[in-house]
Structure 1
């Protein structure tokens, strides 16, 4: 079973004894996690009955019903505290992911792949005791950011020495990597935002973050 680029990126950031995939839909990611030995046990959580049945069928077809437990429920509600060491939420909007993350119990490691800007998730991580440990960019319908967050005490050192607005928007590790893919994304943002920017407009602040990000990547590249 092949994964697309965004789920392949998420897979590469996951390694645990027991992992939960929230809103799994087809269960392709958990199946590959087991098949590649990156996790030993997996819990799949699905709220809607159609995707739930689809996940159950795919898990049974893969012969992994003994290692992947498919559960019906909303977000982290079907999980017991301490049951899993990590969890993934992929293919949702950032605001939907934030609603799921409002649960009383969260595991210490989260792998998040929003379908839109990851900025709100980085802000949430700063406010809730999680550090951005790794970040990847994946290509697809558009460019997707994939984040690995880990619960840690104190300020996140990943942001040290970077313009905060730019790092929250584009990712501190991604800015330091300064890949051609990220630079292309920043340049497109500058082109899109420049005619929209004016004092006190949201586009003005976004443009300033994009310009700061471009300057940061240029400095890093030397």
Structure 2
């Protein structure tokens, strides 16, 4: 079985579906592990680059899963038929790259998404609010840096995860992560305050970012675990 690092393990535990697509899968370790553990019945692996595409095909064949995992060449969700999969995952990309994939083919976005961006997930949370997706689960995974992993599910109405939280801080750091108040998140907020304090000046973006981090710290200080 392929070994998964902490961020992919976090993604794995947020996926359970009959049909699932892993977009930009690279080595295909995540969908292979999902199939081996029975967390998915059928999977589609999508890769746009020829090298990783061939790598994924070789790994799926070696795992003996060619009857359950299909490898397709293509960009983002385009190789999927509308409604073909119940959920999809994207890991190891920038948030803006993920946003591009989600907005280029809106008719192919499934009802559940598991996203692990390599930078701030705030744009993805804003997209979710605007696109009728709720934050169903969030994990902050340790690694080279702190990796956020989100599960979004299509739901109507305002997302209850944000109720009672400082809005900008919840978008930046995650509503469920703020409620959990883990040591890892507290470290991230403290590090942001230390980094932004000498950069903040009236009118600069750093001033706004510092105020957001400070509001998160105030909320966390009143909700100690």
The TM tier, using the shorter chain, reads: over 0.9
1:199 matches 2:202: yes
Q: Could you tell me which residue of structure 2 aligns to residue 211 of structure 1?
A: 214
Deviation at 1:97, TM superposition (A): 0.5
1:179 matches 2:182: yes
Task: Note the aligned Cα RMSD (angstroms).
Answer: 0.7
**Which 5+ residue runs of structure 1 have no aligned equivalent?**
none
**Which 5+ residue runs of structure 2 have no aligned equivalent?**
none
Q: Could you tell me which residue of structure 2 aligns to residue 45 of structure 1?
A: 46
Q: Could you tell me which residue of structure 1 aligns to residue 17 of structure 2?
A: 16
Q: 3-state SS of the aligned residue for 1:220? A: coil
Q: 3-state SS of the aligned residue for 1:213? A: helix
TM-score (norm 2): 0.97
The Cα offsets for residues 19-38 of structure 1, whole Å up to 9 and x where unpaired, read as 00000000000000001111
In the alignment, the residues of structure 2 paired with residue 178 and residue 77 of structure 1 have an alpha-carbon distance, to the nearest angstrom, of 38
Q: Could you tell me which residue of structure 2 aligns to residue 81 of structure 1?
A: 82
In the alignment, the residues of structure 1 paired with residue 223 and residue 99 of structure 2 have an alpha-carbon distance, to the nearest angstrom, of 31
Q: 3-state SS of the aligned residue for 2:78? A: coil
Runs of 4+ residues deviating >6 angstroms: none
The Cα offsets for residues 95-138 of structure 1, whole Å up to 9 and x where unpaired, read as 00000001132100000000001111101101111111100011
In the alignment, the residues of structure 2 paired with residue 76 and residue 186 of structure 1 have an alpha-carbon distance, to the nearest angstrom, of 34
In the alignment, the residues of structure 1 paired with residue 113 and residue 189 of structure 2 have an alpha-carbon distance, to the nearest angstrom, of 26
Task: Return the match for 1:127 from 130, 135, 138.
Answer: 130
Q: 3-state SS of the aligned residue for 2:222? A: helix
What does residue range 64-213 of structure 1 map to in structure 2 within 5 Å? 64-102=65-103, 103-104=105-106, 105-213=108-216
Deviation at 1:198, TM superposition (A): 1.1
TM-score (norm 1): 0.99
Count of matched residue pairs: 222
In the alignment, the residues of structure 2 paired with residue 67 and residue 87 of structure 1 have an alpha-carbon distance, to the nearest angstrom, of 16
In the alignment, the residues of structure 1 paired with residue 158 and residue 31 of structure 2 have an alpha-carbon distance, to the nearest angstrom, of 32
